[in-house]
Amino acid sequence: MNLNMDCVLRHTVLPNKPSTFVSTSPLINAHTHIGDAFITLKKLYGIQELVGPSGIKHTLLKQTKPSIIIEGMKQALKIMKNVGTTHFCDFREGGLKGIQLLKEALPPNLVPIIFSRPQNQYYHKNELTALLSESQGIGISSISDWDYYELFKIAKHTRKKGKLFALHASERIHEPIDLILDLKPTFLVHMVKATPNDLNIVVDHKVPLVICPRSNAYFGLRPNVLAMKKAGITLMLGTDNAMITPPDIIQEAQYLIQNFKVTPHEVRDMISKNSRKYLNVT
């Protein structure tokens, strides 16, 4: 499957320096969407246009044959395995079918941490119970995409089952941090539009954050990593949508080091120690 990422790679790919990250610890990609790896992007799109609930990505996922989706996943998983990734946290769209597609595509010795998602945007007890029996938790797009009461029921059910709950937060627009944290998430993703006060509140609640700077750059966004560090937030690192950036966590790490004020030691913690703790990797 052709993963044509030229429109993004011209701006984001930097020389790999794997020796910077040599470690016997697991190498973890803390946020991926590998189901969209089959999609070829020929121009730049906005967030809602591309990945919103009615966007291009979800339309193509519904229209495309499972065999094509699986082949795209296999290519993305091959990239992860080739750079030494041992575990990856995937926000898995498509309900139970989406989980099954991922499991069919998996190679040996690459461990998924699956955050499944209901087929439709509402709470259904039996569906959620089935999803949680096949995954490590639930991963939601954002509170702006859902009826909040439906999300509250999903988060409560997930915690009751002892599973993980996470969501994208303040990526495209600023979202109320109190409503986000009332869902008691295991971690958040992005927080590009967060205010300094938001970051302080997140620290007070001891909630970690996954950043995906190359994906953000595609949409013309930039996480305030310095403010996140100053606030004391525990950071993890992910590559986000495979149709936008290849799931190469070493490239993501190098991009972060070269474009933000972070040290190799800090980034090594993001892709190993911090992610091990909050994603329950032993």
CA-wise closest residue to 16 among 191, 275, 253: 253
The CATH number of 26-278 is: 3.20.20.140
> How far is it, in rounded angstroms, from Cα 19 to Cα 69?
33
Do the strands 187-190 and 209-211 form a parallel or antiparallel pair, or are they unpaired?
parallel
Q: Which amino acid is at 258?
A: Q
pTM: 0.91
CA-wise closest residue to 238 among 80, 109, 45: 80
Per-residue confidence of the chain (282 residues) as pLDDT tens digits?
232 322 222 233 334 444 344 455 789 999 999 999 999 998 999 999 999 988 999 999 999 999 999 999 999 999 999 999 999 999 999 999 999 999 999 999 999 999 999 999 999 999 999 999 999 999 999 999 999 999 999 999 999 999 999 999 999 999 999 999 999 999 999 999 999 999 999 999 999 999 999 999 999 999 999 999 999 999 999 999 999 999 999 999 999 999 999 999 999 999 999 999 999 898
Question: Could you count the other beta carbons within 10 Å of the beta carbon of residue 227?
Answer: 16
Q: DSSP state, 92?
A: E
Name the β-bridge partners of 165: 138
